[in-house]
A and B are shown apart, each in its own frame.
Chain A
Amino acid sequence: MSKSDKHNHDAAPMVDEISDFEVLEVAVRELCIEKGLFTQQDHNEWTEYMHTLGPLPAGRLVAKAWLDPDYKQLCIDDPVKASLEVGIDWINSMPSKFGTPSDYCNPRILVDTPTLKHVVVCTLCSCYPRPILGQSPEWYRTPNYRRRMVRWPRQVLSEFGLQLPEDVEIRVADSNQKTRYVVMPVRPDGTEGWTEDQLTEIVTRDCLIGVALPRADRKADDKRPIHKAVHPYGH
């Protein structure tokens, strides 16, 4: 095997062209800085912070609560403190040191029961508990989801593959103000004797939004139908 062959085998594929969108994003950002709308430093701080965010801490919070009734009560009584125990500081780790203007510092954990299922939406602008759950998925931000989830929750949930009996109350939480909601689903069957790590793995982002129920055999969210691209390859 020649040296170049070996290199090709080991190299990960990468996009080898510069799109207009990539150029546009940089240009917008640079114009903003030039015009004094924000500083490069502010922007860098945010980017660094955003890179730290993801759904694992929220998943772990739920796993811990399943295993420890005292921690579960803490999640209800003092979610900021409960978040600290999974490494998330709603107040001090934000670039602003008082919570982000978009996320604030009032997390609230919505506890499901066998007869109460919560699901989260923000009809006004897709607010989301980013500090503990990461960036919101595209479908969560669409007017389609936001308008319909408050109005026809059972229909939207069934499109996500979730159908619940009539005697289960579906409670839609519309996060229109400063509170950010995370759903604590009911612990599924088939997880007896599991460790915190094992349980964390099955509490996926969709479970924490409330559109899916955790299952012992599922560690990743199902793919959601997304807006079809208009320029498919070969167009």
Chain B
Amino acid sequence: MSKSHHVEKATGIGDPQCFKGEASQPKFSVGDKVRIRNLPDIFYTRSQMYLREAEATVVKLVYESPPAEDEAWDNTDSPEWFYSLLFKQTDLWPDYPQKFAGDTLETELSERWLEPL
């Protein structure tokens, strides 16, 4: 694994800024309801197990970047849109107390992990 793949590209610009404009049109917009796909894990992932198959709402389109799963293998050819997603804690954890049903969790995933609800 090498991290030097995008040194020239990113110097003075920043990462993930250097990937701006490289992803295809985002599939999802703010407010969309999605489900987290349970893709098979190759060794490396930054998509937490506890999110799999849960429902979420898109709250922000945060940046374009190669997904961590690709970047780990030095593959930066296909940046995707990354989304900030809002989950209800009561959806994530079956025994989360109902009286705190307003509690939420926010985290980011790349487009490949999302399917429309």
Binding between chains A and B: yes
Which residues A155-177 have CB closer than 8 A to chain B?
Answer: 166-177
Interface string of A120-143 (1 = CB under 8 A from B): 000110000000000000000000
Contact assessment for B108 and A177 in the assembled complex, using a CB-CB cutoff below 8 Å:
yes
A216 within 8 A of B: no
Judged by DSSP, the binding face of A is loop
Let me know if B105 and A174 touch, CB within 8 A. yes
What is the interface residue range for chain A against chain B?
A: 20 to 34
Closest Cβ–Cβ distance, residue A112 to chain B (whole Å): 13
- Measured CB to CB, the closest approach of chain A to B59, in angstroms, equals 10
B48 touches A174 (CB 8 A): yes
Contact of A178 among B12, B63, B105 (CB under 8 A): B63
Interface residues on B, range: 35 or more
**Is the C-beta of A109 less than 8 angstroms from some C-beta in chain B?**
no
| Chain B residue nearest in CB terms to A177 | B108
Chain B residues within 8 Å of A, Cβ to Cβ: 3, 6-7, 10-18, 46-48, 50, 62-63, 65, 68, 82, 84, 86, 89, 92-93, 99-100, 102-110
Residues on A lying within 8 angstroms of B by beta carbon are 80, 90-92, 96-99, 101, 104-106, 108, 123-124, 150-151, 153-154, 166-179
